[in-house]
Amino acid sequence: MRLDGHLMPEEPSQPGKTWVQGTTTEGASDSRAVARAVREMFTSIAPRYDLLNHVLSANVDKLWWRQTARSFERALSRPGVKVLDLCCGTGDMAFAVMRQSPAARLMGVDFSHAMLRLASAKSRTRSLYALVSWVEADALQLPFADRSFDLVTSAFGFRNLADYDAGLREIRRVLRPGGECGILEFSQPAGLLGWLYHLYFRHVLPKIGTMLSGVPGAYAYLPSSVARFPSASEMLARMRTSGFSKVAWRPYTGGIAGLFRGER
Ligand SMILES: C[S@@+](CC[C@H](N)C(=O)[O-])C[C@H]1O[C@@H](n2cnc3c(N)ncnc32)[C@H](O)[C@@H]1O
């Protein structure tokens, strides 16, 4: 299957996948409760988040952040380019953008205070302190004026929103006309890789995650939220409906992850 010029051999048919509003968590009755549970979960794993990320992904995550930043080379080469990294966590996507474009004016947004403290500490040790502003806010209610940014990135954060369409509308609102967005997310590859990935993601990763983080449940949420996330074709359709043009999805590492992009 081809989507907007990008080959998508890895996208499975995902039979039985139904339309969802956003992520969900056990026992949460509405989107506010979901958001609260998601924030508490990320706050609880924050101290071990980086370690777990690198262990569980065998450091491939670093490659994906770099690849994403590189794919916006043209936008990032503009002097004074304004970039928002949404759901920035401990800041690694933002740092990859900074490396690609040291003159960018960059903001990292997350609603977990614990994650932002770690991001801020990391930027200090990397001498990037003056270059990135860390803002505690909800991605669904951004404290920025319309048309504020040239580029909005989000790595592995968008999937956790309680309302995907509201998230897309909010990203579009803060982009200037012609501005671009890049959403990096996990995907579900097909074939043998998909089978191995399923085995690892469902049965191995939650055990290692629980052991290293000491937080039961947090790493069971990861595979279930990925399984619930819209297929690439549905996500692209949602992006179009939210007013994005030139939408496309590019698989990374055999479709384990992939980058959605679109233009306002
Ligand atoms: C899996 S982490 C990704 C962090 C980072 N972008 C990375 O690539 O490592 C997801 C982050 O999204 C944040 N997040 C989830 N929902 C959010 C929301 N509605 N508003 C702001 N941040 C949110 C969480 O607090 C968490 O730090």
Q: In what order do the strands lie in the sheet with 82-86?
A: 132-136, 105-110, 82-86, 149-155, 175-186, 257-263, 245-252
Integer Cα distance of 178 and 72 in angstroms: 13
Distance (Å) from CA 79 to ligand 1 centroid: 28
What does the pLDDT look like over 3-18, one tens digit per residue?
Answer: 333 333 334 345 556 8
Q: Tell me the three state secondary structure of residue 91.
A: coil
Distance (Å) from CA 156 to ligand 1 centroid: 7
184/217: higher pLDDT: 184
pLDDT value for 125: 81
Q: Tell me the three state secondary structure of residue 87.
A: coil
What does the pLDDT look like over 197-250, one tens digit per residue?
Answer: 888 878 888 888 888 878 777 778 888 899 999 999 999 999 999 999 999 999
For 203-255, give the DSSP string.
IIHHHHHHHHH--TTHHHHHHHHHHHSPPHHHHHHHHHHTT-EEEEEEEEGGG
Look up residue 235 and give its two tokens: 């996500």
CB-ligand 1 contact for 87 (6 Å cutoff): yes
- Architecture in CATH for domain 2-10+18-263: 3-Layer(aba) Sandwich (3.40)
Percent of the chain with pLDDT over 70: 92
What does the pLDDT look like over 145-159, one tens digit per residue?
Answer: 999 999 999 999 999
Lowest mean pLDDT among 37-51, 120-134, 222-236: 120-134
Look up residue 178 and give its two tokens: 């012609």
Distance (Å) from CA 218 to ligand 1 centroid: 13
- Is the separation of the CB atoms in 260 and 232 below 8 Å? yes
CB-ligand 1 contact for 167 (6 Å cutoff): no
pLDDT value for 3: 36
Dihedrals phi, psi of 215, to nearest 5 degrees: -115, 105
Look up residue 25 and give its two tokens: 């968590």
The average pLDDT across 101-125 equals 94
First to last CA, the chain: 25
Lowest mean pLDDT among 38-52, 188-202, 221-235: 188-202
Helix 113-125 vs helix 49-57: angle between axes, to the nearest 10 degrees? 80
Task: Indicate the pairing of strand 149-155 with strand 175-186.
Answer: parallel
Distance (Å) from CA 1 to ligand 1 centroid: 30
Lowest mean pLDDT among 14-18, 41-45, 68-72, 163-167: 14-18
